[in-house]
């Protein structure tokens, strides 16, 4: 099978490639078409991995003909281009035109509603698209499905993600993923599902403090724009159970949280509108990205070794056999040598899992969110093969 990765030399794309060429592959991959505008990064990744199945393709995603060519002959397209760059719908449509199965990493729900609206077109064309297949969204959606499947009636499902760093404090701000994504999570309004309908919530609202086990400890969560709340409460097998509330909340490591709040207070949350500096118009995001990149490179020797701990969990409340119950399903990602080469193993490994499960099983044409597409047991098995720890409990 041939896999095309668009934006494949970026942090998440590179991680997906690492997982695809590992011994965890569950499909016969004959070629990985690595497409990106950064030739140097593609060559460095290909040289490091040394896998002859990797083919390098210089690609400008604004070139429709080149994009179509990159899709030709592929069994699936994995779109790793950051959502907020604005190219997602173009790549999505190119996959439909080429009749190639499609996945993306979603991100913030920016295009989720528009993509789902194309369900019938994809279904009629016999093309499968599953949107938002990283960690959050992606794995998180499957966690919610696991909760929902244990309830006959659902009052609410609340979804959380917390990250914490253990080790000496880092004097250098290292983004956990795309800078634009982090800023949007802190600075943009979000859509949540309350009282049986979608509502708009202010940035950094919905503050909620939960006491988690160490190393997370006492964590303050906040609303954040994401795609899960746009899809989960409307999913078949969930909406008909009467769900009235669904929220997604975020907690980044404590000191890093303070830094991102400060940047938003300074005005970097409005990152798309150019500012004029000495007669030249520049985007604040471009400036911030370059400053952060320069600072990381200049102070590489000052960055301490830190262990990253993640916990992704959903709490569902409702009834089972007429009895009130609370169901919690969580996935914990603890430090492991397996993750060392990855910038964000959880997101990229989940992107790889989703693409491979689509290829392994009979495809279901249309546009789907992960909670409506994947089998929970099959998906969780792949998580466990990557050393993610899954637990589930029911409290009465």
Q: Is 366 helix (H, G, I), strand (E, B) or coil?
A: strand
- Are 301 and 327 contained in the same domain? yes
Residues 331 and 388: their CA atoms lie apart, in Å, by 6
Instruction: Give the model confidence (pLDDT) of 304-341 as tens digits.
Output: 999 999 999 999 999 999 999 999 999 999 999 999 99
Residues 241 and 244: their CA atoms lie apart, in Å, by 9
- Are 132 and 149 contained in the same domain? no
Instruction: Give the model confidence (pLDDT) of 71-105 as tens digits.
Output: 999 999 999 998 878 899 999 999 999 999 999 99
Output the pLDDT for position 181. 86
- Are 197 and 329 contained in the same domain? yes
Output the pLDDT for position 309. 95
Whether residue 108 has pLDDT greater than 90:
no
- Are 257 and 279 contained in the same domain? yes
- Are 57 and 112 contained in the same domain? yes
Residues β-bridged to residue 166: 307
Across 320-341, b (16+ Cβ under 10 Å) vs e yields eeeeebebbbbbebeeeeebee
Backbone angles phi and psi of 320, in degrees to 5: -130, 120
- Are 197 and 288 contained in the same domain? yes
Whether residue 57 has pLDDT greater than 80:
yes
Instruction: Give the model confidence (pLDDT) of 271-310 as tens digits.
Output: 878 999 999 999 999 999 999 999 999 999 999 999 999 9
Output the pLDDT for position 84. 78
Residues 12 and 393: their CA atoms lie apart, in Å, by 31
Output the pLDDT for position 237. 95
- Are 204 and 289 contained in the same domain? yes
Contact 321, 394 (CB under 8 A): no
Output the pLDDT for position 180. 86
User: What is the DSSP-derived secondary structure letter of residue 132?
Assistant: -
Contact 88, 114 (CB under 8 A): no
User: What is the DSSP-derived secondary structure letter of residue 134?
Assistant: B
Output the pLDDT for position 177. 81
Orientation of helix 139-148 relative to helix 376-385, angle to 10°: 130
Name the nearest CA neighbour of 176 among 70, 277, 306: 306
- Are 306 and 370 contained in the same domain? no
CATH number at residue 152: 3.30.360.10
Contact 116, 393 (CB under 8 A): no
Whether residue 270 has pLDDT greater than 80:
yes
The full length of the chain comes to 396
Output the pLDDT for position 132. 96
Output the pLDDT for position 2. 98
Burial class from Cβ neighbours inside 10 Å (0-12, 13-18, 19+) for residue 171 reads exposed
- Are 282 and 322 contained in the same domain? yes
Contact 237, 368 (CB under 8 A): no
Contact 67, 91 (CB under 8 A): yes
Strands (E), 72-196: 76-79, 101-104, 128-130, 153-167, 190-194
Output the pLDDT for position 38. 94
Give me the domain span that covers residue 203: 142-341+389-395
Instruction: Give the model confidence (pLDDT) of 207-251 as tens digits.
Output: 999 999 999 999 999 999 999 999 999 999 999 999 999 999 999
In Å, how far are 29, 80, 85, 105, 111 from 77, measured between CA atoms? 13, 9, 18, 12, 17
Residues 261 and 251: their CA atoms lie apart, in Å, by 12
The total domain count for the chain is 2
- Are 360 and 234 contained in the same domain? no
Q: How confident is the model at residue 252 (pLDDT cuts 50, 70, 90)?
A: very high
């Amino acid at each position: 099978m041939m896999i095309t990765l668009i934006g494949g030399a970026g942090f998440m794309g590179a991680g997906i490639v690492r997982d695809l060429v590992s011994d965890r592959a569950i499909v016969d991959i004959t070629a990985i078409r690595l497409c990106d505008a950064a030739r140097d990064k593609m060559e460095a990744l290909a040289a490091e991995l040394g896998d002859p199945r990797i083919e390098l393709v210089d690609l400008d995603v604004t070139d429709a003909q080149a994009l179509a060519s990159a899709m030709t002959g592929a069994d699936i397209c994995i779109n790793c281009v950051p959502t907020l760059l604005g190219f997602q719908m173009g790549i999505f449509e190119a996959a439909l035109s080429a009749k190639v199965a499609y996945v993306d990493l979603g991100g913030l729900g920016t295009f989720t509603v528009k993509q789902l609206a194309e369900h019938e077109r994809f279904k009629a064309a016999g093309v499968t698209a599953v949107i938002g297949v990283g960690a959050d969204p992606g794995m998180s959606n499957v966690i919610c499905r696991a909760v929902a499947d244990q309830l006959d009636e659902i009052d609410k499902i609340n979804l959380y993600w917390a990250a914490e760093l253990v080790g000496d404090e880092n004097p250098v701000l290292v983004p956990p993923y795309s800078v634009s994504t982090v800023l949007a999570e802190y600075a943009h309004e979000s859509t949540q599902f309350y009282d049986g309908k979608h509502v708009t919530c202010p940035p950094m609202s919905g503050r909620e403090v939960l006491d988690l086990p160490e190393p997370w400890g006492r964590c303050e969560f906040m609303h954040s724009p994401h795609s899960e709340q746009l899809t989960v409460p409307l999913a078949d097998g969930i909406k008909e159970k009467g769900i009235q509330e669904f929220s997604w909340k975020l907690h980044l490591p404590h000191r890093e949280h303070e830094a991102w709040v400060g940047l938003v207070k300074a005005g970097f949350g409005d990152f798309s509108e150019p500012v004029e500096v000495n007669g030249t118009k520049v985007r604040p995001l471009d400036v911030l990205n370059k400053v952060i990149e320069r600072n990381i490179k200049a102070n590489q020797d000052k960055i301490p070794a830190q262990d990253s701990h993640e916990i992704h969990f959903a709490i569902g409340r409702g009834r089972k056999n007429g009895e009130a119950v609370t169901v919690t399903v969580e996935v914990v990602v603890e430090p492991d040598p397996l993750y060392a080469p990855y910038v964000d193993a959880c997101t990229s490994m989940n992107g790889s899992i989703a693409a491979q499960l689509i290829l392994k099983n009979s495809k279901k044409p249309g546009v789907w969110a992960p909670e409506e597409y994947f089998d929970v047991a099959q998906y969780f098995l792949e998580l466990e093969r990557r050393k993610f720890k899954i637990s589930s409990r029911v409290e009465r």
